[in-house]
Chain A
């Protein structure tokens, strides 16, 4: 393609760097980076909370923290890691990668995309404002009533929590819808569903799960707010309510959420392993199908979080069976990865590959304890002990953070245009891998010895002093490893070597454009003929340049036949203003001011009106 085309595209899509475009941009790459950085800041905060808890638990009977502080720390640690770190981070990564991987120029709705970031940021600040006013959420990340109801949690701590999560769910839902429409309508010509990269498959299923799982959480939180502030009786046994209703609604969200966290990680591993094993993934259709099946079965296992609540045995048996069945698609994926490594050429032991392999090891351990928990009698014996803390850190830290680090290292050259230091990368992997196991493996034993979760200290008589100290030392090592990742990133940003378009020799479309990609993504829309376009097609370009205006290519849903050129909206400040309007609504609700809530709702509606007016007929 001639440079004249590229100059023309830059004229259409380019943005002035600087604060003005900072507040108005709809560029998926800028928004994606912003999501990633913000989520990493929350990861750091959640990590500090964990470090404080391990400091407290390093010795029996320590008094570094009061019980009240400890409650706030474990509540905010869980809430941060689940809602403000891993989910938004994966959303941000998908924001950056999915449009490039499917060969288009932006997300389907760039303004909604900006809006969902601002809402995420606002909700994160809202949840953390609790620390500033001395009333951080303290009812645990699953907030069971009646403990979190009006009688036992009279402060605003849990109002901040439940309103904050309702606020955040706007971002999650809108972001997920944006991803689904992008994947359905904007894939490059020739990229049929059967040729979609596995990462895109994983994000497609994840986004669907978000759309279907957020409403139960939102509804549960609305009911909790009504019980707390308007005198309803949803969770109040004395008036015909039932605290178990909360548990059902919460876990109807909560278990799918485990897979909302896990599936993007699986998508990353299925992308990284073939690149370094130097061959296409073994069993592509089975891995794609396993992703979809996991997404479906995940909605039928929530009661395994409630085995110890006295539900009828027949019901428990059903959920135990479903919980065991869900290991089958996970097993299919694990064997596909192993087969890819074995059947490939001698793998390149780069940092992303190490993290991907480290993930397989720890995830299998977490999976094994998961199957143990699927068995009702075992669950009833060890639930709410440190055994469960060990289990879910193996599947969440091991199952999601390891692949996340694989992905962050893998795409670092693409996003920043610079290569990172492999030496530092490998050091950080080994620190995190060893530190992780030293931190969390002893927790299995502590749990079996009877140490309960969520208690701010323990007695020396329990015999878990040494294990706790070991665990705290491990936590310090993990922390060191993560700091090393940060040092590597900053150092490489400043002085790393320039990365070429495709430093790994990878197969997917994001490597077809420069590193970092131009504002318009691709000079011409690629036309693909297979699953691994960069390995199969030496010449990817086409004459589809769309230089008439700010346009992207719409294609058909299953076969990705070119359909029409879709006009895209210009940058705008309205998404930010609308998000601020929502923030005002939630702050008013927290303060219990009806006039302020009504006023800010009207203002928000006015912004939404202006937004749709401004678009005319352009999707946005």
Chain B
């Protein structure tokens, strides 16, 4: 029995599996967070509580477009490295980072503009905790892919050898997609 001598690459590398399982744990974390929100929401007579305005859905929608949209350049970045184009990968990742920073800027504005805080009541606690938890993940994802940019300059990746890029991109997509669930629960569901 003999083994082809190939470098680990593509979706089958152990690193990819490791990242996928880490994302499963993270999804459970966000699932728990949103379930906690709904648990307290259905115990409350009015939601949001009296005197607290609904989250700004227009601003939220713009943020959503920016963040979820940033997955598109990330996909192009993956395609770039698969075809051996480091430059395409670097430019696309940079675009994704800029879009994510735009998302974080909108979030920062919402924090400062809100008329309530996490101390006001359980609604405020849930709202700010879930948003902050997600924002920390966006920052984490930005750091991961920014580090991939640095490593690509040092020649760590090529057409055959880029499992770390795929793992980083997978994490990026996870952070974007989980935001859709958060947007649905925090911004849209209180209106019904």
Contact = CB atoms under 8 A, between A and B. Distances in A.
Interface of A: 108-109, 112, 173, 176-178, 180-181, 184-185, 189, 211-212, 214-216, 218-219, 222-223, 226-227, 230-234, 236, 239-242, 245, 248-249, 252, 527, 542-544, 546, 548, 553-554, 562-567, 605, 609, 612-613, 616-617, 619
A584 to B, nearest CB: 18
Interface stretch (B8-16, B59-67, B184-192): B8-16
Contacts of B163: 617, 619
Contacts of A227: 125
Interface in B104-154: 118-126, 129, 133, 143, 147, 151, 154
Interface in B18-49: 18, 21-22, 24-26, 28-29, 31-33, 36, 39-40, 43-44, 49
A286 B40 CA distance: 41
B71 to A, nearest CB: 22
Interface of B: 1-8, 12-15, 17-18, 21-22, 24-26, 28-29, 31-33, 36, 39-40, 43-44, 49, 118-126, 129, 133, 143, 147, 151, 154, 156-157, 161-164
Contact of B14 (A248, A249, A527, A619): A619
B22 to A, nearest CB: 6
B3 A562 contact: yes
With most chain A CB atoms within 10 A of its CB, the pick from B26, B36, B44, B164 is: B36
6 smallest beta-carbon distances between A and B, as pairs = A240-B122, A232-B125, A215-B29, A215-B28, A241-B122, A177-B21
A67 B172 CA distance: 51
A566 B3 CA distance: 11
B168 to A, nearest CB: 10
B60 to A, nearest CB: 22
A390 B3 CA distance: 55
B14 A211 contact: no
A527 B1 CA distance: 9
B148 to A, nearest CB: 9
A619 B156 CA distance: 13
Max chain A Cβ within 10 angstroms of own Cβ: one of B17, B22, B161, B163: B17
Given A239-B121, A619-B8, A211 B40 contact: no
A570 to B, nearest CB: 17
Given A223-B36, A226-B129, A232-B118, A617 B8 contact: yes
Contacts of B121: 233, 239-240
Nearest to B17: A181
A242 B43 contact: yes
Contacts of A544: 1-3
A567 B15 CA distance: 12
Contacts of A189: 1
Nearest to A112: B18
Contacts of B29: 215, 218-219
A252 B151 CA distance: 40
Contact of A180 (B7, B21, B133, B164): B21
A226 B118 contact: yes
Nearest to B144: A612
Given A231-B119, A619-B18, A542 B164 contact: no
Given A173-B25, A562-B3, A215 B44 contact: no
Contacts of B164: 612, 617
Nearest to A211: B25
Nearest to A234: B125
A219 B15 contact: no
Contact of A239 (B15, B43, B122): B122
A111 B129 CA distance: 32
A241 B5 CA distance: 58
A617 B14 contact: no
A298 to B, nearest CB: 14
Contact of A554 (B2, B8, B120, B156): B8
Contacts of A542: 1
A231 B25 CA distance: 27
Nearest to B44: A240
Contacts of A232: 118-119, 122, 124-125, 129
B84 to A, nearest CB: 15
18 contacts: A181-B21, A211-B25, A211-B28, A212-B25, A232-B119, A233-B119, A233-B122, A234-B40, A234-B126, A239-B121, A241-B125, A245-B39, A252-B32, A554-B8, A563-B4, A617-B157, A619-B13, A619-B18
A605 B139 CA distance: 12
A317 B20 CA distance: 36
A245 B40 contact: yes
B15 A619 contact: yes
Contacts of A212: 24-25, 28
B125 to A, nearest CB: 4
Nearest to B39: A245
B39 to A, nearest CB: 6
A539 to B, nearest CB: 14
Contacts of B157: 617
Contacts of B7: 564, 567, 617
A387 B100 CA distance: 55
A317 B161 CA distance: 54
B36 A612 contact: no
Nearest to A173: B25
- Among B2, B13, B31, B32, max chain A CB count under 10 A is at B32
A617 B151 CA distance: 10
A562 B25 contact: no
Nearest to A613: B151
Given A240-B44, A619-B18, A543 B122 contact: no
Contact of B122 (A234, A252, A567, A605): A234
A177 B18 CA distance: 6
Contacts of B143: 605
B37 to A, nearest CB: 10
